[in-house]
């Protein structure tokens, strides 16, 4: 299932949209990968696969009720609450829907100053910088610059001289889970994410040649894509990025010791295209 929202209020809200003005304009079944949905002036909220719940014109999109997902729930919180209910071995879930600048700069947001320590290969390790496309922090009188669910890991840069390929990379700030675990921490985690693909047609206005008489506007299409492409990786760190453990989508990752703080990283080694990360979650 998909929820399609008018993007006008999010783009005009300077990072703090007015909940009363946010409009859900369409709810549809998730189409096949080959089919695209035009979203000019709109954005899509992808619901977790297999989850279905009532959505009306009065359903809430924002603000996000991450800490109390079923108390006055928004549509993202409802979606992820059902995901957590599908895995009863976990008691808590943290998610990031990438809707506003708070999701970029707040808890679980993107740490642009952090590097990813790559321990593969002979020492010393290499350090990859964050390479991600997203919005700017909101500031008085300035545009927020964030298009919801359009955060993207850049394509890998294979042309760096004297060093290895620089992949597209997103590293989160540390997420403190001590309050949810009574200060004990957790040693069992499961990651979830949703990737999307986009295609934009050309803006054509011509009165000569093969396109004579054509006046076609550019159309932005959103498409479903492979959720675990061979060039995409996710990882969890329990020690502030000194060591990383690769994690599959909806696959448990167990550690020897409990931790109260984690970082999440997403990596794109595809040298031909960006990877759009619509949202992600971690259960523990």
Average pLDDT of the chain to the nearest whole number: 84
Which tens digits make up the pLDDT trace of 179-227?
888 889 999 999 999 999 988 766 566 556 555 556 566 778 888 899 9
138: confidence class by pLDDT, cuts 50, 70, 90? low
Percent of the chain with pLDDT over 90: 40
Instruction: Give the Cα separation of 66 and 96 in Å (integer).
Output: 9
* pLDDT for residue 19: 77
262: confidence class by pLDDT, cuts 50, 70, 90? very high
253-256 contact pairs (CB < 8 A, 24+): 253/188, 253/189, 253/190, 253/191, 254/187, 254/188, 255/187, 255/188, 255/189, 256/187
Instruction: Give the Cα separation of 17 and 99 in Å (integer).
Output: 10
To which residue do tokens 């609450």 refer? 81
Interval 116-126 mean pLDDT:
77
CA distances from 12 to 50, 99, 141, 147 (A): 33, 13, 11, 11
Contact 104, 96 (CB under 8 A): no
* pLDDT for residue 177: 92
3-class SS string, the chain: CEEEEECHHHHHCCCCCCHHHCCEEEEECCCCCCCEEECCCEEEEECCCCCCCCCCCCCECCCCCCCCCCCCCEHHHHHHHHHHHCCCCCCCEEEECCCCHHHHHCCCCECCCCEEEECCCCCCCEEEECEEECCCCCCCCCCCCCCCCCCEECCCECCCCCCCCECEEEEECCEECCCCCCCCCEEEEEEEEEEEEEEECCCEEECCHHHCCEEECCCEEEEECCCCCCCEEEEEECCCCCCCEEECECCEEEEEEEECEEEEEEEECCCCCCEEEEEEEEEC
Domain span at 70: 2-283
Which tens digits make up the pLDDT trace of 31-44?
877 778 888 888 89
Interval 150-173 mean pLDDT:
84
* pLDDT for residue 83: 93
Domain count of the chain? 1
Q: What pTM, to 2 d.p., does this model score?
A: 0.88
């Amino acid at each position: 299932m998909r929820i399609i929202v008018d993007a006008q209020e999010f783009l005009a809200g300077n990072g703090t949209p007015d909940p009363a003005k946010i409009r859900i304009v369409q709810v549809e079944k998730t189409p096949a990968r080959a089919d695209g949905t035009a979203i000019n002036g709109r954005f899509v909220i992808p619901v977790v696969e297999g989850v279905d719940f009532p959505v009306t014109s009065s359903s809430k999109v924002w603000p996000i009720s991450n800490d109390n997902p079923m108390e006055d729930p928004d549509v993202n919180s409802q979606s992820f609450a059902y995901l957590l209910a599908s895995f009863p071995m976990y008691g808590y879930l943290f998610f990031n829907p990438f809707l506003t600048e708070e999701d970029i700069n707040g808890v679980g947001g993107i740490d642009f100053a952090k590097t990813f320590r790559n321990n593969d290969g002979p020492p010393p390790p290499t350090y990859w910088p964050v390479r991600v496309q997203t919005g700017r922090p909101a500031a008085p009188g300035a545009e927020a610059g964030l298009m919801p669910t359009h955060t993207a890991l850049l394509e890998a840069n294979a042309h760096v001289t004297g060093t290895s390929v620089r992949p597209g990379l997103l590293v989160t700030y540390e997420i403190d889970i001590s309050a949810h675990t009574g200060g004990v921490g957790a040693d069992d985690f499961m990651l979830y994410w949703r990737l999307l693909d986009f295609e934009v047609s050309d803006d054509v206005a011509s009165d000569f040649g093969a396109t004579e008489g054509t006046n076609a506007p550019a159309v932005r299409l959103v498409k479903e894509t492979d959720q675990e492409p061979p060039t995409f990786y996710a990882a969890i760190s329990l020690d502030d990025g000194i060591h990383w453990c690769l994690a599959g989508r909806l696959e448990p990752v167990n550690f020897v010791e409990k931790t109260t703080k984690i970082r999440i990283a997403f990596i794109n080694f595809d040298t031909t295209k960006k990877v759009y990360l619509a949202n992600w979650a971690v259960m523990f």
